[in-house]
Amino acid sequence: MENVILVVLLILALCLISVVLLQRSEGGGLGMGGGDGGGGGGVMSGRAAASALTKLTWFFGIAFMIASLSLTVLSAQKSGTSSVIDRVGDAPVAEVPAAIDLLPPSASDAPLSVPRAE
């Protein structure tokens, strides 16, 4: 069930992002987005499109919050009273393999000197 809600949450997030990016900037925050955008010869006027996108933004935002809260409630019910810290103490300790010596050899590890033939 958690996976289904997670997928729904992902789809809602993508829809919310796309609807917000489609909206026209009315504040002119960065100096962009001003003006009518050309012609105005569409089915919906600029104001009707803005109100429709605003309603979609509210819908996706509320749906996102409901999905987030339901995922939180499901996760809390599934976890019960146990904690991650409690489970760490019960885990078996794995045997650590012998470490490979990466240091240079010490003087006691030096090979025996072989006399040279002259």
Q: How many Å is the maximal CA-CA distance in the chain? A: 103
pTM of the model: 0.53
- Condensed to tens digits (0 to 9), the pLDDT of residues 40-79 reads 455 556 666 668 888 999 999 999 999 999 999 998 888 7
Please check whether residue 32 is in contact with residue 83, taking contact to mean a CB–CB distance below 8 angstroms.
no
Task: Assess if residue 113 is contained within a domain.
Answer: no
CA distance 64 to 15: 10
Q: Is 95 among the domain residues?
A: no
Task: Name the residue range of residue 54's domain.
Answer: 1-24+49-77
Q: What are phi and psi of 103, to 5 degrees?
A: -80, 155
Find out whether 5 and 71 touch, Cβ atoms under 8 Å.
yes
Quick one: residue 111, left, alpha or beta (phi over 0 = left, psi -120 to 50 = alpha)? beta
Structure tokens at 49: 């499109």
106 domain-assigned: no
Residue 85 included in any domain? no
| 26 compared with 9, residue with greater pLDDT | 9
Mean pLDDT of 82-91: 69
Q: What percent of the chain has pLDDT over 70?
A: 52
Q: What is the mean pLDDT of residues 19-33?
A: 68
